[in-house]
Amino acid sequence: MSLIARYLEENGIPTVIVGCGRDIVEQVGVPRFVFSDFPLGNPCGKPRDNETQLGILDLAFTTLEKSFAPRTTVQSPYRWSTDESWRERYLKS
Amino acid sequence: MTTTENKIDTSRSLYIRYMDSTTDHYLAEGYNNPYQWARFEDVPFTPLKKPLSESRLALITTAAQFQPDKGDQGPGAAYNNDAKFNYVYDLPSNVVPDLRISHIGYDRKNAQIEDQKVYLPLENLYHFQEQGRFAELGPRLYGAPTLRSQRVTSDRNAPQILKMCQEDEIDVALLVAV
| Size of the A and B interface in Cβ pairs below 8 Å | 216
Is residue B38 in some structural domain?
A: no
Q: Is the pLDDT of residue B2 over 80?
A: no
- Contact of B123 with B117, CB cutoff 8 Å: yes
Cβ–Cβ gap A25/B177 under 8 Å? yes
Confidence at residue A52, expressed as pLDDT on a 0 to 100 scale: 97
State the pairing for strand pair B56-61/B140-143: parallel
Q: Is the backbone of residue B95 left (phi > 0), alpha (psi -120 to 50) or beta?
A: beta
Is residue A10 in some structural domain?
A: yes
For residue B71, how many other CB atoms are within 10 A of its CB?
14
Mean pLDDT of chain B: 88
Is residue A36 in some structural domain?
A: yes
**Domain range for residue A66?**
2-77
B80 or B130, greater pLDDT: B130
Is residue B137 in some structural domain?
A: yes
Residue of B nearest to A75 (CA): B12
Residue B109 main-chain phi, psi, to 5 deg: -80, -30
Cβ–Cβ gap B171/A13 under 8 Å? yes
Is residue A32 in some structural domain?
A: yes
Query: Of B26-30, B52-56, B147-151, where does mean pLDDT reach its minimum?
Result: B26-30
pTM: 0.91
Closest by CA position to A13, among listed B90, B47, B40: B47
Is residue A88 in some structural domain?
A: no
Give chain B's domain count.
1
Is residue B144 in some structural domain?
A: yes
Amino acid A20 reads: C
Is residue A85 in some structural domain?
A: no
Which residues of chain B have a CB within 8 Å of the CB of A18?
174-177
Over its length of 93 residues, how does chain A's per-residue pLDDT go in tens digits?
999 999 999 999 999 999 999 999 999 999 999 999 999 999 999 999 999 999 999 999 999 999 999 999 999 999 998 888 888 766 554
Q: Is the pLDDT of residue B62 over 60?
A: yes
The Cα–Cα gap between A82 and B28 comes to 31
pLDDT of B74-113, one tens digit each?
888 888 888 888 899 999 999 999 998 888 888 888 777 8
Q: How far A81 CA sits from the closest chain B CA (Å)?
A: 11
Give chain A's domain count.
1
- Contact of A19 with B177, CB cutoff 8 Å: yes
Is residue B94 in some structural domain?
A: yes
Q: Which residues, in sequence order, are CB contacts of A49 under 8 Å at separation 6+? A: none
- Contact of A87 with B14, CB cutoff 8 Å: yes
Q: Which residues, in sequence order, are CB contacts of B81 under 8 Å at separation 6+? A: B103
% residues pLDDT > 90 (chain B) = 53
Radius of gyration of chain B (CA): 19
| Residue B147 contacts A where some CB pair is shorter than 8 Å | no
The Cα–Cα gap between A84 and A93 comes to 17
**Domain range for residue B85?**
52-176
- Contact of B113 with A89, CB cutoff 8 Å: no
The Cα–Cα gap between A54 and B127 comes to 9
Is residue A24 in some structural domain?
A: yes
Which residues of chain A have a CB within 8 Å of the CB of B134?
61
Is residue A55 in some structural domain?
A: yes
Q: Is the pLDDT of residue B1 over 60?
A: no
CB-count exposure of residue A58 (10 Å: 0-12, 13-18, 19+): middle
Q: Is the pLDDT of residue B12 over 60?
A: no
pLDDT classification of B7: cutoffs 50, 70, 90: low
Confidence at residue B83, expressed as pLDDT on a 0 to 100 scale: 84
Vertex A22: Cα angle to A34 and B90 (nearest 5): 60
Is residue B110 in some structural domain?
A: yes
Interface with chain B: mutation pick from A9, A15, A35, highest number of B CBs within 10 Å: A15
Is residue A12 in some structural domain?
A: yes
pLDDT classification of B170: cutoffs 50, 70, 90: very high
For residue B141, how many other CB atoms are within 10 A of its CB?
27
